[in-house]
């Protein structure tokens, strides 16, 4: 994806004062944050994928919590940054007529300043879709792409340094490489002095966690359809040497046709294969959420990201068919004990033996025995088949032993 030169947008209102609000960190009323440097623009070809970036709120309980009320509309304007007094204009004749104050202009909010910047590139900022500790996501209309998109707005002031210097550049580089119907891809990225804007397609039908909350446990046929989309996507980016390292239901989106799309590659890493030896590199960075993390990550040892992704996939399938999480991540010590034991299935959940068998083989603590993508695709549940019967009535008796020849 080649870098595109962009002319500096025109200044709005001639104001150089910076503004702050609780919703979006500071952006100058000038479209390029008041700096003399032009914004950096990265462009990528347009793909029909969707994205909705939601913050990771920390430890999830084994039972999926009720949905939070959705937020929409403009960002809060309760904390205006421009506190300069309004100018007054004199009216009437010079014979002592009373001076009246002109109507005060409404203070410009951070939403307004971000909207002004994005308008320079053909985006009309809309309702809020999600909010994290240092990023916010809003829907927008795009004249360039001629459809609604999602814009992730990242505050450089609030984001951790290692995210800005390590994880975010990796995410952008990974997104530029993805060209698959079940993977999110980057439409455009805009960088200013105080913010980074990532433009991706909108997830019209939300994420998988919301879907499960609304509808409960999935029948096998529905779960299988989404699971096949997921495995196809993982097989694709693993083949590119990319590992996700944060696979979870919140990061699996549903497009307008309810096709599953893997999103949020914020912890992804590429170049996982050593070109000289052909062997996969091990990672040592803890990534992802406790509830979806494999034992090797929880124990803090070097791990193979492709095998770690498989564990997360096992947790996702468990959640699909049971509408609950397999492990309690409220206590790390308890979680470490749970992940080292065979996964437990509640007797109240109607989960088929085939689904249980596949889940158990993905949630094996030993990385040497854990299923691979190839194993998953060959499993009977994935193919829509039944487990081989072990009933005595169905077992064909062995043939009688061959008698040795009489000499």
Q: What is the pLDDT of residues 277-290, one digit of tens each?
A: 777 889 988 888 99
Q: What's the pLDDT at 337?
A: 95
CA atoms within 13 A on the CB side of 160: 7
Any idea what DSSP says for residue 250?
G
Question: Tokens 């500071």 label which residue?
Answer: 26
- Partners of 303 in beta bridges: 283
Return the pLDDT at 105. 60
Bigger pLDDT: 105 or 169?
169
Q: Of these residues, 51, 112, 207, 246, which one is catalytic?
A: 246
3 state SS of 376: helix
**pLDDT tens for each residue of 310-326:** 999 999 999 999 999 99
Instruction: Tell which wins on pLDDT, 159 or 285.
Output: 159
Which pLDDT tens digit goes with each residue over 321-378? 999 999 999 999 999 999 999 999 998 989 999 999 999 999 999 999 999 999 999 9
CA nearest 259: which of 219, 215, 211? 211
Mean pLDDT for all residues in the chain:
76
- Indicate whether 80 pLDDT > 80: no
Between 228 and 23, name the one with better pLDDT: 228
Q: Helix axis angle, 220-239 relative to 305-322, nearest 10°?
A: 170
Q: What's residue 55's pLDDT?
A: 31
What tokens does 72 get?
Answer: 């929409």
Neighbouring C-alpha atoms within 13 Å toward the C-beta of 281: 14
For 122-156, the pLDDT digits (tens) are: 999 999 988 888 999 999 999 988 999 999 999 99
Query: Three-state secondary structure along 167-195?
Result: HHHHHHHHHHHCCCCCECCCCEEEECCCE
- Integer Cα distance of 326 and 339 in angstroms: 9
Percent of the chain whose pLDDT exceeds 70: 68
Tell me which range, 78-92, 167-181, 217-231, is most confidently predicted by mean pLDDT.
217-231
Q: What is the pLDDT of residue 159?
A: 94
Question: Which domains, from first to last, does the chain contain?
Answer: 21-66+115-201 (3.30.200.20), 208-383 (1.10.510.10)
Q: Where are the alpha helices (DSSP H) in 340-400?
A: 353-362, 373-378, 380-383
pTM confidence score: 0.70
Active site residue 304: no
- Dmax (CA) for the chain in angstroms is 143
- What is the average per-residue pLDDT within 84-104? 46
Spatial neighbors of 407 by CB under 8 A, at least 6 apart, are: none
Among candidate residues 200, 138, 135, the one with its CA nearest the CA of residue 167: 135
Strand partners, 41: 190
Burial letters 188-200, b for 16+ CB under 10 A, else e:
bbbbbbbbbbbbb
DSSP 281-337: PPB-S--S-GGG--HHHHTT--B-HHHHHHHHHHHHHHHHHHSB-SS-TTSHHHHHH
pLDDT in tens, 26-52: 222 233 333 334 444 444 433 323 333
Residue range 244-255: mean pLDDT, rounded: 95
């Amino acid at each position: 994806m080649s870098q595109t030169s962009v002319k500096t947008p025109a200044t709005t209102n001639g104001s150089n004062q910076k503004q702050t609000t609780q919703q979006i960190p500071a952006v100058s009323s000038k479209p390029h944050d008041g700096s003399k440097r032009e914004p950096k623009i990265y462009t990528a070809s347009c793909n029909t994928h969707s994205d909705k970036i939601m913050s990771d709120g920390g430890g999830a309980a084994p039972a999926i919590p009720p949905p939070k009320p959705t937020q929409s509309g403009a960002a809060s304007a309760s904390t205006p940054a421009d506190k300069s007094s309004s100018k007054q204009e004199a009216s009437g004749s010079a014979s002592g007529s009373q001076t009246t104050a002109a109507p005060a202009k409404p203070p410009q909010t951070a939403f307004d300043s971000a909207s002004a910047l994005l308008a320079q590139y053909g985006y009309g900022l809309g309702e809020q879709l999600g909010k994290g500790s240092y990023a916010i996501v809003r829907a927008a209309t795009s004249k360039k792409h001629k459809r609604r998109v999602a814009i992730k707005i990242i505050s450089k002031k609030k984001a951790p340094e290692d995210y800005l210097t390590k994880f975010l550049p990796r995410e952008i580089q990974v997104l530029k490489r993805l060209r698959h119907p079940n993977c999110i891809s980057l439409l455009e990225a805009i960088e200013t002095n105080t913010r980074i804007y990532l433009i991706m397609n909108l997830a019209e039908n939300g994420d998988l966690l919301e879907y499960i909350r609304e509808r409960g446990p999935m029948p096998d046929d529905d779960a299988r359809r989404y699971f096949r989309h997921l495995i196809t996507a993982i097989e694709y980016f693993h083949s590119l040497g990319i590992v996700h390292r944060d696979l979870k239901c919140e990061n699996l989106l549903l497009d307008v046709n309810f096709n599953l799309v893997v999103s949020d590659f914020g912890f992804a890493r590429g170049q996982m294969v050593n070109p000289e030896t052909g062997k996969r590199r091990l990672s040592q960075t803890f990534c992802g959420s406790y509830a979806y993390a494999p034992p090797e990550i929880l124990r803090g040892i070097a791990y193979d990201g492709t095998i770690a992704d498989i564990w997360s996939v096992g947790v996702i399938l468990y959640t699909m068919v049971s509408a609950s999480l397999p492990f309690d991540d409220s206590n790390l010590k308890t979680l470490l004990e749970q992940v080292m034991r065979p996964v437990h299935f509640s007797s109240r959940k109607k989960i088929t033996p085939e689904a249980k068998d596949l889940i158990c083989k993905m949630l094996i603590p030993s990385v040497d025995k854990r299923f691979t993508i190839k194993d998953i695709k060959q499993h009977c549940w994935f193919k829509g088949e039944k487990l081989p019967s072990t009933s005595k009535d169905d077992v064909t008796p062995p043939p009688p032993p061959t008698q040795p020849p009489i000499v």
